[in-house]
């Protein structure tokens, strides 16, 4: 038995939700480019869960269900208020989502229908939880969700306490479409491993949030913004990046396990970043990002991934960097729950083997005789 570090190249599940073939990403057979241009996030979530794009009535029903489920129990809000103010937002989100299970009477109902309802419920509640966490951190009261608006609009409304402009809503909605699913990424795998023990959907999503938090996965978008802030000016890009490369430090937002010739999602976010900058009449963040991109590509042959241009997009939407990875979770919970439903449908516990590389033939020595 020989281990493959990082399970590179190992096919660990059969799935009909999303695929990456020759650098092309599809959700249920639809090219991500097509969906990013044309679909709303709610349509994409429906597609991931139910395998087809919704018709008009189905979409309206989903929007209604999401609205009905968007509030969160007072007990969870009180609990969130007791979290330390300086805690990591993903850590707080992990705790709050775990707490939501305690107030869901269906948490342990393993029927397909109940699990579908919980997928919608989790999708509806995550934006409310994250906006509340952000406001509580700023010493403000959480804002209750609006009925009858999209997830993107509702999230920005609950965050800012006022109706957001259309451009911001459209940009966030498109970013959510682009982040919704990504085959067997680390957090989705974590979710599938957890629920393959026949544990509940909240446990699966809590595991996934823990995995997404890491800077090698979803945490990279926040790390990109920290880097852009550290660099501070276009003149400083070259010395900063060259120094990092010479020290063999990782440049956050670059490289990918599967895409070696570029991440198909990055171009959409790059365009969005440019357009938002041009609209605001300040393209400094975008210009710095492009310069970093050119340098890392020419020096190291690494291409930007989904997280790189997300950082400047979210910042230009007025969103604090602590919320970047949680926003990734608002989108990816659609993919996580779709994969959880798929795992339950044809389950077998996920239990691989390890290559043992430790000592052998040890003999027990009583404690008083040990050095």
- Per the listing, tokens 């300040």 go with 282
307 is catalytic: yes
Q: Name 316's Cβ contacts closer than 8 Å, sequence gap at least 6.
A: 273, 276, 277, 280, 285
* Residue with the shortest CB distance to ligand COA: 255
Minimum distance of ligand COA from residue 8's CB (angstroms): 6
Residues in the site for ligand COA, rule: CB under 6 A? 6, 216-217, 220, 250-257, 300, 302, 305-307
> From CA 127, how far away is CA 150, in angstroms rounded?
11
- Which of 39/224 has CB closer to ligand COA? 224
| CB-CB neighbours of 219 under 10 Å | 19
- Characterise 198 by phi-psi region: left (phi > 0), alpha (psi -120 to 50), beta (else): left
- Which of 47/302 has CB closer to ligand COA? 302
Closest by CA position to 289, among listed 229, 199, 202: 229
256 is catalytic: yes
Q: How many CA within 13 A on the CB side of residue 60? A: 3
- Which of 186/201 has CB closer to ligand COA? 186
Minimum distance of ligand COA from residue 337's CB (angstroms): 20
Minimum distance of ligand COA from residue 253's CB (angstroms): 5
- Which of 89/154 has CB closer to ligand COA? 89
Sign of the CA dihedral 257, 304, 32, 48?
positive
Query: Which of 256, 268, 321, 339 is the catalytic position?
Result: 256
Minimum distance of ligand COA from residue 238's CB (angstroms): 16
Q: DSSP letter string over 158-206?
A: HHHSSPPPHHHHHHHHHHHHHHS-BTB-HHHHHHHHHHTTT--HHHHHH
Output b/e per residue, 158-182; b: 16+ Cβ within 10 A. Answer: bbbeeebeeebbebbbbbbbbbbbb
- Which of 191/251 has CB closer to ligand COA? 251
Minimum distance of ligand COA from residue 332's CB (angstroms): 11
Query: Which of 268, 293, 307, 321 is the catalytic position?
Result: 307
Q: List active site positions.
A: 256, 307
């Amino acid at each position: 038995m020989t281990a493959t570090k990082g399970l590179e190249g190992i096919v660990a599940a059969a799935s009909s939700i999303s695929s990456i073939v020759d650098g092309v990403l599809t959700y249920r057979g639809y090219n991500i480019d097509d969906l990013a241009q044309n679909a709303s996030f709610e349509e994409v979530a429906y597609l991931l869960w139910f395998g087809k794009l919704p018709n008009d009535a189905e979409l309206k029903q989903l929007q209604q269900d999401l609205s009905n489920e968007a509030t969160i129990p007072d007990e969870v809000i009180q609990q969130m208020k007791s979290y330390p103010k300086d805690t990591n937002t993903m850590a707080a989100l992990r705790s709050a989502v775990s707490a939501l299970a305690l107030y869901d009477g269906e948490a342990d109902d393993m029927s397909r229908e109940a699990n579908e309802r919980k997928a919608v419920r989790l999708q509806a509640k995550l934006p409310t939880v994250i906006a509340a966490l952000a406001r509580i951190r700023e010493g403000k009261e959480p804002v209750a969700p609006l009925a009858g608006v999209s997830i993107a609009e509702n999230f920005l409304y609950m965050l800012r306490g006022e109706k957001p402009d259309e451009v911001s809503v459209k940009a966030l909605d498109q970013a959510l479409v682009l982040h919704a699913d990504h085959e067997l990424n680390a957090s989705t795998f974590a979710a599938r491993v957890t629920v393959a023990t026949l544990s509940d959907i909240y446990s699966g999503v809590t595991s996934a949030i823990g995995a997404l938090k890491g800077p090698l996965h979803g945490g990279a978008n926040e790390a990109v913004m920290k880097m852009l802030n550290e660099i501070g000016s276009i003149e400083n890009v070259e010395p900063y990046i060259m120094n990092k490369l010479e020290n063999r430090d990782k440049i956050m937002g670059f490289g990918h396990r599967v895409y070696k010739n570029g991440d198909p999602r990055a171009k959409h976010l790059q365009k969005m970043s440019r357009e938002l900058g041009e609209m605001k009449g300040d393209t400094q963040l975008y210009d710095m990002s492009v310069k970093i991109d050119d340098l890392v590509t020419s020096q190291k042959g690494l291409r930007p991934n989904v997280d790189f241009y997300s950082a400047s997009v979210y910042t230009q939407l007025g969103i604090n960097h602590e919320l970047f990875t949680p926003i990734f979770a608002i989108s990816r919970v659609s993919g996580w729950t779709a994969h959880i439903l798929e795992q339950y449908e044809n389950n077998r516990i996920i239990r691989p083997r390890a290559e043992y590389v430790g000592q052998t033939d040890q003999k027990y020595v009583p404690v008083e005789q040990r050095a």
